[in-house]
Structure 1
Amino acid sequence: MSRADKAAAIAELSDKFKSSNAAVLTEYRGLTVKQITDLRNSLRGNATYAVVKNTLTQLAAKDAGVTAFDGQLVGPTAIAFVEGDPVEAAKGLRDFAKANPHLVIKGGVLDGKALSAAEIAKLADLESREVLLAKLAGAMNASLSKAVYLFAAPLSQAARTVDALRAKVETEGPVSGAPAPAAADEAPADAAPAAEATDVAEGGDAS
């Protein structure tokens, strides 16, 4: 590889490190070309799986400020550069490694933080972003529906009660024992006895 080709390869790898959400370092010794192609296809949409040269990758990682792979760039190396959901990418790598033990997950980096192989396995056990968002949306919808019911139900019941009372008053007069609606110029409460006395006087002896 010429000096210009090496410089271009380093620049390309450096850009991949900088633009990726995460990167997972693997060793693919023993995998066939078909198996690697199958792995690439399984990761499509979340990650790009690239076979790399260790020396160039070390230089590119240094240029991108990535130190997570220091001392691990040995043997046949390929890196999954994650552009989508890191959890889905980790699941894809884990599942493939279970079916194809020749794939060895050595470590990774997520948002600048180094991850061990064990931490990547834990990442793969998490629920995907889509599942978490769906659960969050469901919880929010349920909470909103409950809140709407709690607020709306008493109001609707009160409205029905008021309507029923109004209809009863219109047909039968004031409900026994219920105070009549107060008018703006209604006499004070302490004037009620005088009104009762007047009624008695007009009707004669109350006894």
Structure 2
Amino acid sequence: MDRAEKKELVSFLHQTFQDATCVVVTHQTGLTVAEVSDLRGKMREQGARYKVAKNRLARLALDGTKFEGLKPLLEGPTALAWSDDPVAAAKVAVEFADKNKKLTIVGGALGEKTFDATGVEALAKTPSLDESRAKLAGLMQTPAQRVAMTLQAPAGQLARVFNAYAEKGNAA
């Protein structure tokens, strides 16, 4: 990689860190090309990205961003995952690391808040933005359904009472 390519990569990563909401730092030791491709595909499906980057270049890219606290985590065979969704990158990385021991979660950050591996795992367990929206929509619909059922119940009961009187009158 020549100097111009390095400069372009640092610029790309810097802009990425400016725009991202969540960044996860991982160590990958012994992952095959197929495994990395699989991980990248899963990241893309969830709106996240995954990139192997030289630590020195990643540290330069972190300068002036809200993720500067990640610099001490950039040691060894590092790869970075990021997303605009606050939990997407963490969720995919943790799920993949659970199934494949060659990937290790080192830490991460949500905005300016930096986490260790345990914090990233806890973040991954929280519902995603879309899941939260779906739950909220469900909660908002539930009261309306209950009101409709409550209003319909007395009418149904009255109809059954009238029907019972009608059947009693016909029997007599």
Amino acid in structure 2 at the alignment position of 1:120: V
| SS of aligned partner of 1:74 | coil
8 A contact 1:22–1:81 mirrored in 2: yes
Structure 1, unaligned stretches of length 5 or more?
A: 158-207
Corresponding residue for 2:8?
8
Amino acid in structure 2 at the alignment position of 1:53: K
| SS of aligned partner of 1:64 | coil
Q: Name the CA distance, whole Å, in 2 between partners of 1:15 and 1:3.
A: 18
Q: Name the CA distance, whole Å, in 2 between partners of 1:111 and 1:14.
A: 14
Which region of structure 1 is more displaced relative to structure 2, 123-132 or 55-64?
Answer: 123-132
1:65 Cα offset (Å): 4.2
Corresponding residue for 1:17?
17
Q: Structure with the greater relative contact order (CA < 8 A, sep ≥ 6): 1 or 2?
A: 2
Which region of structure 1 is more displaced relative to structure 2, 61-70 or 132-141?
Answer: 61-70
The alignment of Structure 1 onto Structure 2 pairs a total of residues equal to: 155
Are 2:86 and 1:86 aligned?
A: yes
| SS of aligned partner of 1:31 | coil
Q: Name the CA distance, whole Å, in 1 between partners of 2:64 and 2:131.
A: 35
8 A contact 1:54–1:74 mirrored in 2: yes
* TM-score, with structure 1 as normaliser: 0.67
Corresponding residue for 1:162?
none
* TM-score, with structure 2 as normaliser: 0.79
Structure with larger Rg:
1
Q: Name the CA distance, whole Å, in 1 between partners of 2:23 and 2:88.
A: 13
Amino acid in structure 2 at the alignment position of 1:23: V
Q: Name the CA distance, whole Å, in 1 between partners of 2:128 and 2:68.
A: 27
Q: Deviations along 1:70-94, whole A, 9 cap, x unmatched? A: 22211111100213x3333322211
Corresponding residue for 1:121?
121
8 A contact 2:24–2:82 mirrored in 1: yes
Structure 2, unaligned stretches of length 5 or more?
A: 156-172
1:6 Cα offset (Å): 2.1
1:29 Cα offset (Å): 1.4
Amino acid in structure 2 at the alignment position of 1:132: S
Corresponding residue for 2:146?
146
Corresponding residue for 1:63?
64
Are 2:106 and 1:106 aligned?
A: yes
8 A contact 1:39–1:96 mirrored in 2: yes
Amino acid in structure 1 at the alignment position of 2:42: S
Structure 1 moving runs of 4+ over 4 Å: 147-150
8 A contact 2:48–2:88 mirrored in 1: no
| SS of aligned partner of 1:44 | helix
1:149 Cα offset (Å): 6.2
Which region of structure 1 is more displaced relative to structure 2, 126-135 or 19-28?
Answer: 126-135
Amino acid in structure 2 at the alignment position of 1:77: T
| SS of aligned partner of 1:63 | coil
